[in-house]
Amino acid sequence: MADTDCPALTMLSTILLTCFAALPAQQAATDATTDSLEVADLLQRKVLIQGDKSYRVQDILNALYPYDASLQASLESNAEYLGFYINSLRFFDHVRWFSNLLILEEEGFPAVSREALEQEALAWSAERSENSPSANSTLALAALEIQAHARLIAKQPKEFSNKEIRAHFNASIPEFFGVLKTSWIRVPLFDLETNAAISQAQRAQIYEDLDKVGKALSSGELEWDQAVEAHSMDPTSKRNGGRVGYLKRQDIRYDEEFMRQLFSDFGIVAPETAVVRGPITGSRWVYLVRIEMVKTQGVVEMSLVRDRVIRSLRIYRLHAKMAELASTVTRSILLPITTQ
């Protein structure tokens, strides 16, 4: 008798076909549930301990969401992307500036107006790019840092005296009218294989190691070429003995945090021999820099760059104040986190 003539077999076939047809939908639903649970777990991970309080991934993201409408949907719908994001250098910086904002709030630095925030966003962007994006797009990129900048600047005088402006100009003339011929050793603040941010402890160890190298170079115990070969993790400059060439303060090829520190406090008289500066912690690398020559370009007249000098003075003072306040606080950034 044919199978189709048997009611029991026909019913069984129908049930099996129905079950197998439902499997993809059931699997998709299971995957979605698993992904949602992973997202929920990641959002609750601690990423900052400051004083006697701890803060989660969700706390930092909640501070970012008002400035980037698309961020929440992107992150909280995909556990893999969320895991990648929270272990990135970008998120590490978000946590650092979230921490700084907590310090400013504790110290009574009030929030600033939207106008002041947008004004600082445009200035912040101009210092890092040839383009001029909108204030909103810049805030989406670095809202927490820009908020801290704006709060610190709001506490500064509206105007500086000519004496203060001139003193800052004289302290760092190469910043405005010079170029530095440089070589460097640099070590990344990220894992070269995964691109994830390294831990706070690893950062401290890199700084300590390069500080020892710098002292050995200054004392003559170590030659520059040997130091580059042994310690640099930048393949491009390492092949050239660490040589980078001439750097100008407004060169946007390198991160602003590093360039600001490199050009600060040079004084009126250029060094006659090569000097080593650092370690300098930038946004992506820690640097030990050998400055081989300082060249002045153009007519050194402060009136030609007065606005730049005033902006530089404000930035110098806000970072000095932030460092002073942060030095009194115990904090730990708990990144990267395990996402498996």
Number of other CB atoms surrounding residue 267 within 10 Å: 11
Number of other CB atoms surrounding residue 282 within 10 Å: 18
pLDDT at 129 over 80: yes
* Residue tagged 């709001």 (tokens): 154
CA 187-326-263 angle, to 5 degrees, is: 50
C-alpha pair distances (Å), 177 with each of 13, 68, 172 = 85, 38, 9
Quick one: pLDDT at residue 13?
A: 56
pLDDT at 10 over 60: no
C-alpha pair distances (Å), 7 with each of 13, 16, 264 = 10, 14, 89
H-type helices in the chain, by residue range? 7-43, 57-64, 71-75, 79-86, 89-106, 114-126, 135-154, 162-171, 174-177, 200-219, 224-231, 235-239, 256-263, 306-326
- In the DSSP assignment, the letter for residue 172 is B
When pLDDT is cut at 50, 70 and 90, the band that residue 26 belongs to is low
Quick one: pLDDT at residue 206?
A: 98
* Residue tagged 């969401």 (tokens): 65
Q: At what angle do helices 89-106 and 135-154 cross, to 10 degrees?
A: 40
* Residue tagged 């007519």 (tokens): 299
How many residues does this entry show for the chain?
340
When pLDDT is cut at 50, 70 and 90, the band that residue 22 belongs to is low
Quick one: pLDDT at residue 243?
A: 97
Q: Are 120 and 146 contacting, i.e. CB atoms less than 8 angstroms apart?
A: yes
The token duo for 224 is 């520059």
Which residue has better confidence, 297 or 244?
Answer: 244
pLDDT at 4 over 50: no
User: Cα–Cα distance between 294 and 173 in angstroms, integer?
Assistant: 10
Domains identified in the chain and CATH numbers: 46-158+324-333 (no CATH), 174-299 (3.10.50.40)
Which residue has better confidence, 40 or 19?
Answer: 40
When pLDDT is cut at 50, 70 and 90, the band that residue 271 belongs to is confident
* Residue % of the chain over a pLDDT of 90: 81
Q: Are 284 and 190 contacting, i.e. CB atoms less than 8 angstroms apart?
A: yes
- Strands 53-56, 46-50: pairing is antiparallel
Which segment of 127-136, 171-180, 292-301 scores lowest on mean pLDDT? 127-136
Quick one: pLDDT at residue 33?
A: 74
pLDDT at 3 over 60: no
Question: Is the peptide bond prior to 336 cis by the omega test (within 30 degrees of 0)?
Answer: yes
* Residue % of the chain over a pLDDT of 70: 88
Quick one: pLDDT at residue 77?
A: 94
CA pseudo-torsion sign 275, 279, 281, 287:
positive
Number of other CB atoms surrounding residue 291 within 10 Å: 21
Digit-coded pLDDT (tens) for 65-96: 999 999 999 999 999 999 999 999 999 999 99
* Residue 109 Cα to chain centre, angstroms: 23
C-alpha pair distances (Å), 221 with each of 214, 218, 226, 279 = 10, 8, 11, 18
CA pseudo-torsion sign 96, 100, 101, 102:
positive
Q: At what angle do helices 89-106 and 79-86 cross, to 10 degrees?
A: 60
pLDDT at 2 over 80: no
Query: What is the pLDDT of the chain when averaged over all its residues?
Result: 90
Range 48-53 average pLDDT: 97
Quick one: pLDDT at residue 21?
A: 56
User: Cα–Cα distance between 48 and 200 in angstroms, integer?
Assistant: 11
User: Cα–Cα distance between 187 and 202 in angstroms, integer?
Assistant: 11
pLDDT at 1 over 50: no
pLDDT at 322 over 60: yes
Contacts of 226 (CB under 8 A, 6+ apart): none
What are the φ and ψ backbone dihedral angles of 2, each rounded to 5 degrees? -70, 150
